[in-house]
Amino acid sequence: GEVLLEVNHLQTNFYTENGVVKAVNDVSFSIHKGQTVCIVGESGCGKSITALSLMQLIPENGKIDGGEVYFSGKNLLNLNKKDIRRLRGNDIGMIFQEPMTSLNPVFTIGEQMIEPLQEHLLLSKKDAYKKAMELITMMGIPNAEKIINQYPHELSGGMLQRIMIALAISCDPKLIIADEPTTALDVTIQAQILDILREIKKNLNTSILLITHDLGVVAEMADYVVVMYAGKVVEEGPVLELFSNPQHPYTKGLLKAKPVIGERKDRLYTIAGQVPNLVDLKESCYFADRCEYAMDHCRIKQPSFSTVSDEHHVACWLFEEGVTNG
Ligand code: SF4
Ligand code: MG
């Protein structure tokens, strides 16, 4: 399919008292029309900052120091504040982990939905109200008339997340960026929210960039998976291929760490060791200290990408011919 979003060599740094934190370090990937791409990794691997960078929403001490982000042919990183804001409301919808932080507590759900609908779709107030009601109903909420007049604090977390999704799709976006949209919710509600996202993708052919640490969510949602570690992409590939034929030792570890229903907790596999300090990165594979396959070469030079199969790539010296231990 047609490429909708293309991220090339994105570099986002944070300037802290302790030095420069390379939070997103030369990250590239793309999303096709109608495709769901999951970025997966442990917390602190740079997946949220990647998503926020695309929308120029990184915190103040952060700076995008390199790369391009093409969306429908435009480099988003060159857009001014006004244009990127317009794009956020129109072509790209965003959903965050904590819906409460994105909603204004002093306005009703209706007030917060109707105004952007009027602004972006140039609807009359009456038509915007009608559309808001439709959207709320579409989210599987039966009593839209009641919800629309309520304030955010009167709604449950799952209900708020549905409202956030309704808001995100209200202007028919081409892309939805969802950062851990179900992490704060209990399992039943989580499944319902994922169903809603899948329906949206199917019915509206929306592309989705889904950020998650949860491989269960990846298995259910992704067409394509990007695995990040310490600010870098270490492996990427179609979901079935990646789950059945993982190559990077980190991806293998993540898949082993995936909890199995019914399995005793003390038998859960965790990847030993710590994520490296992103201030003090050496010219080495960043996973070397935790990798059971690490070779001398891994501590001297960073691995480049090798092709496993057509769309499946891995950054690991094990796949570079001629690199062996000793
Ligand atoms: Fe392990 Fe070396 Fe591969 Fe890094 S490059 S993941 S240290 S084998
Ligand atoms: Mg995060």
Give per-residue burial for 308-320: e unless 16+ CB within 10 Å, then b.
beeebbbbbbbbb
Ligand 1 site, residue 230, Cβ cutoff 6 A: no
What would the mean pLDDT of 24-41 be, rounded to a whole number? 97
C-alpha distances (whole Å) from 60 to each of 56, 64, 89, 146 are 10, 11, 21, 39
Region for 137 from its dihedrals, namely left if φ exceeds 0, alpha if ψ lies in -120 to 50, beta otherwise: alpha
CA–CA distance, 226 with 210 (Å, rounded to integer): 10
Of 232, 234, 313, 316, the one to substitute when testing ligand 1's pocket (max ligand atoms within 8 A of C-beta) is: 316
Instruction: Give the model confidence (pLDDT) of 138-160 as tens digits.
Output: 999 989 999 999 999 999 999 99
- Under DSSP, is residue 176 helix (H, G, I), strand (E, B) or coil? strand
Angle between helices 157-169 and 109-121 (to 10 degrees): 10
Nearest-angstrom CA–CA distance, 240 and 224: 9
What ligand 1 atom has the least distance to the C-alpha of 298? 2
CA of 101 to the centre of ligand 2 (A): 14
Q: pLDDT at position 273, please? A: 76
Of 288 and 266, the one with more pLDDT: 288
CA-derived radius of gyration, the chain? 21
The arithmetic mean of pLDDT across residues 296-305, rounded, is 93
Nearest ligand to residue 296 Cα: 1
Q: Is the CB of 64 under 6 A from ligand 1?
A: no
**Cβ burial, residue 145 (10 Å; 0-12/13-18/19+):** exposed
Tokens at residue 225, please?
Answer: 């998976």
pLDDT digits (tens, 9 = 90+) for 203-251: 999 999 999 999 999 999 999 999 999 999 999 999 999 999 999 999 9
pLDDT for res 68: 97
Residue 40 contacts residue 210 (beta carbons within 8 Å): no
- Tell whether ligand 1 has an atom less than 6 A from the beta carbon of residue 287: yes
Amino acid at 258: K
Please give the number of the atom of ligand 1 that sits closest to the Cα of 293: 8
Question: Does any ligand 1 atom lie closer than 6 A to the CB of residue 288?
Answer: yes
Q: Does the interface ipTM go beyond 0.90?
A: yes
Integer angstrom CA distances of residue 317 from 27, 94, 252, 302, 311: 18, 36, 15, 8, 18
Give the pLDDT confidence score for residue 232 in this predicted structure. Answer: 96
What average pLDDT does this structure show over 44-60? 93
